[in-house]
Amino acid sequence: MMPLWLDIVIAVLIVSGASFTLIGAIGLVKFRDFQKRLHGPTKNVTLGLGGILIASIMYFTYTQQRISVLELLITLCLFLTAPVSAHLLIKSAIKRQGLALPALPPTSKPDQKN
Amino acid sequence: MNFSLDMLLQPFSHVGMVSKYAMLIAFIFLSISIACCTWRVVRGPMMEDRILALDTLYINAIAVIILLGLVFTTRVYFDVALLVAMFGFIGTVVLAKFLFAGDITK
C-alpha cells in the first residue's frame, strides 16, 4: 500500500488537473469571441493534462519501482503541438472573418506626440 | 437497488485511500468537460470553434485514458494515449490548414 503522503500528493494532482480541464472547457462554452474562446483550451486544458500525467508518473514509479518515461513523451508531444494548432486556428479565423486589431484609444495630448 | 458512495468508489479502491475520492471527482469533472466540448462542437458559430472543440475533446480523451490506466494498473493504455495525441494533432492541423488555404497539400 502507498504511504499516505504520496497518496495525498497524487490525489491533489489528479483533482487539480481535472479542475483545470473543467475550467478550460467552461471557458470554451462561456466566452463570447473566438479569440477569447481560444484561451481556455490552449492553456488550461494543457496544464490540467500535465497535472494528471505527473500524478501518473508518481503512481507508476512507486508501484513498478522504476522511472516511467512514456508519460514524458505524451507531455512533450502535447506541449509542442498545442501552440501550433492554436496558431493555425487563429490564423484561419483572422483570414476568413477579416478580424482586425481594434484601434488604439486616443492619446490625451495629440500635439506633443514628437 | 440502493446506490451508495462505496458502490461508486469500489472500482478505484485499490488505487489509494485518498486517491479513490480524487479519481471519482476527476471522472465527474472530465465528463462535464467533455459535455461542454460536445456542446461547442454542435453549437459553434464558426468552423474554427468546432475544430477547437474537437481539439479539446481529444485532449480530454487522453486524460480519461490515462486515468483508466491508473484504475486498471496497466501500461498498455499509455501507448493508446500517445497515439491519440499524435493523430489528434495531425487531424487538427489538417482541418485548420484546409480552412486556411482551401487545400491540405499547399
d(CA A29, CA B38): 10
**What pTM, to 2 d.p., does this model score?**
0.86
Contacts of A60 (CB under 8 A, 6+ apart): A68, A71, B75
Dump pLDDT digits (tens) for A51-72.
Answer: 999 999 999 888 888 887 788 8
Domain coordinates of chain A in residue numbers? 1-79
Interface ipTM > 0.95: no
Residue B35 cell numbers, joined: 459535455
Cβ-Cβ contacts under 8 Å, B51 against chain A: 89
pLDDT at B105 over 90: no
d(CA B33, CA A29): 10
- Please report the pLDDT score of residue A114 as a whole number: 52
Please check whether residue B99 is in contact with residue B51, taking contact to mean a CB–CB distance below 8 angstroms: yes
User: What is the CA angle B47-B51-B52, rounded to 5?
Assistant: 115
Phi/psi for B57 (5° steps) reads -65, -40
Output the CA torsion sign for B61, B66, B69, B70: negative
Assign B28 a pLDDT band (cuts: 50, 70, 90): very high
How would you write the pLDDT of chain A (114 residues) with one tens digit per residue? Answer: 778 899 999 999 999 999 999 999 999 999 888 888 888 888 899 999 999 999 999 998 888 888 877 888 888 988 899 899 999 998 888 888 765 666 777 777 666 555
Mutate to test the interface with B, among A5, A13, A22 (most CBs of B within 10 A): A22
Q: How many CB atoms lie within 10 A of CB B97?
A: 17
Distance from CA of A89 to the nearest CA of B (A): 6
Cβ-Cβ contacts under 8 Å, A93 against chain B: 46, 48
Domain coordinates of chain B in residue numbers? 17-101
Residue B86 cell numbers, joined: 499524435
